[in-house]
Structure 1
């Protein structure tokens, strides 16, 4: 029986490489993995899933009008993999549920749980509520040895705690940190 998985982690935890590794494993077995990525993530170009270590694979671009269910119904892949799933909206997450429930195709969605202020993204919120299985992709805090659970936004190397929820960026803009280091940096910024 197919399931909807949500695998979340802080920035730089290896989510995209996991998508690419899983796709490779399916393909090595002669199976088809259908990849989706939101149009908003344009760090390495639109329509591709790219890991920080340089591996890249083309993917279907998710836009507001894209019908993922129809594509899955037509293609009938063995698995669907979604990168940057935090950027999905409620209806898109529900479409993933329909793919699992009606087409019996497993879906694995990877993304951030929360933004740089510790608030859930829309896609993450609905995936946390609807996924059959929720798994954490772990990484280490860049400031200490604890597990990173937060995404700290930086500008010119200085932590910032205000701004738009979505700002596409990599290591130049975000650091994975633990809650304690995040809180210390926030206090320093408030009293700075």
Structure 2
């Protein structure tokens, strides 16, 4: 039986690298997968899943109007849906991926952030936490050596930003993965 998976972590934990490895493993065994990433994330160009380690691969782009059930119906025989930047999924899309797994018997493995820079859940992450059959927290570390669980937005002077839009795309120059203590003390 197929499942809906949510693999989450703070930034820089290797989520995209892990997704690319899973895709490779399926394809190496002759299975066809569909890779998706959010059109919101343009750090490495729209339509690419890119690891900080170097591997990069083209992917389909999803936005708030993407209908995963229709896409699956249009291309039968897909062994797995792999979703990067899953925090940007809508509630309805997560429900559709749940249906895809449980009714369509196609696993959906979603990789993304759990919370934003203010410690608030993203819509997609909240729904994945509610519906996922299996959840795995991927680990990374804070500068202090503890497990990083938070994403701290910083300004040009490396000072913590506490206000602003939930979504502001950026890499290491805009965000730091930190533990709860460092998040609170900054």
Q: Same fold (TM over 0.5)?
A: yes
Counterpart secondary structure, 2:36: strand
Separation of aligned partners in 1, 2:118 and 2:152: 8
**The structure with more helix, counted as a fraction of residues:** 1
Separation of aligned partners in 2, 1:12 and 1:6: 16
Separation of aligned partners in 1, 2:73 and 2:132: 20
TM-score normalised over the length of structure 2: 0.96
Separation of aligned partners in 2, 1:78 and 1:60: 16
Q: Tell me which stretches of 4 or more aligned residues in structure 1 moved more than 6 Å.
A: none
Q: Contact between 2:47 and 2:60, CA under 8 Å: does it hold in 1? A: yes
What is the match of residue 163 of structure 1?
A: 164
Q: Contact between 1:73 and 1:103, CA under 8 Å: does it hold in 2? A: no
Separation of aligned partners in 1, 2:120 and 2:106: 30
TM-score normalised over the length of structure 1: 0.93
Runs of at least 5 residues in structure 2 that lack an aligned partner in the other structure: none
Separation of aligned partners in 1, 2:79 and 2:34: 8
What is the match of residue 74 of structure 1?
A: 74
Residues 2-49 of structure 1: CA deviation (Å, up to 9, x unaligned): 000000000000001111111011111111121111111111111111
| RMSD between aligned residues | 0.9
Residues 129-175 of structure 1: CA deviation (Å, up to 9, x unaligned): 01101110100112x11100000111112211111110000101101
Counterpart secondary structure, 2:114: coil
Separation of aligned partners in 1, 2:131 and 2:16: 22
Aligned residues: 184
Q: Contact between 2:63 and 2:89, CA under 8 Å: does it hold in 1? A: no
